[in-house]
Amino acid sequence: MMHEAWPAGAQGAGAGALRVEALSVFPQMFESPMGLSIIGRARRAGLLDFVAHDLRDWTHDNHNTTDDEPYGGGAGQLMKVEPVFEALDDLLGDAPARVVFFAPVGLPFDQRLAADLAQEERIVMVCGRYEGFDERVYTRADLCISLGDYILTGGELAAMVVTDAVCRLLPGVLGDAQSPLDESFCAGLLEYPQYTRPASYRGMDVPEVLLSGNHRLIAQWRRKQSIIRTAQLRPDLLDHADLTEQERETVRLWQEERALT
How far apart CA 259 and CA 100 sit, in angstroms, is 44
Q: Which residues of the chain have pLDDT under 50?
A: 1-11, 178
* Contact (Cβ atoms closer than 8 angstroms) between residue 23 and residue 53: yes
Q: What is the model's pLDDT at position 261?
A: 77
pLDDT single digits (tens) 204-228: 999 999 999 999 999 999 999 999 9
Query: What is each CA distance from 157 to 2, 41, 193, in whole angstroms?
Result: 23, 20, 29
- Collect contacts of 246-253 with beta carbons under 8 A, ≥24 apart: 247/223, 250/224, 251/227
Q: What is the model's pLDDT at position 4?
A: 44
CATH number of the domain at 18-167, please? 3.40.1280.10
Q: Look at the alpha carbons of 14, 19, 20, 23 in this order and tell me if their dihedral is positive or negative.
A: positive
The CATH-assigned architecture of domain 200-260 is Orthogonal Bundle (1.10)
Q: Boundaries of CATH 1.10.1270.20 in the chain? A: 200-260
How distant is the alpha carbon of residue 115 from its chain centre?
9
Report the predicted TM-score, pTM, of the whole model to 2 decimal places: 0.85
Q: Boundaries of CATH 3.40.1280.10 in the chain? A: 18-167
How far apart CA 83 and CA 222 sit, in angstroms, is 51
Q: What is the model's pLDDT at position 14?
A: 65
Query: What is each CA distance from 225 to 69, 181, 241, 258, in whole angstroms?
Result: 53, 16, 14, 15
Q: What DSSP designation does 127 have?
A: P
Instruction: Sort 13 into a burial class: Cβ within 10 Å, 0-12 / 13-18 / 19+.
Output: buried
Q: What is the model's pLDDT at position 95?
A: 86
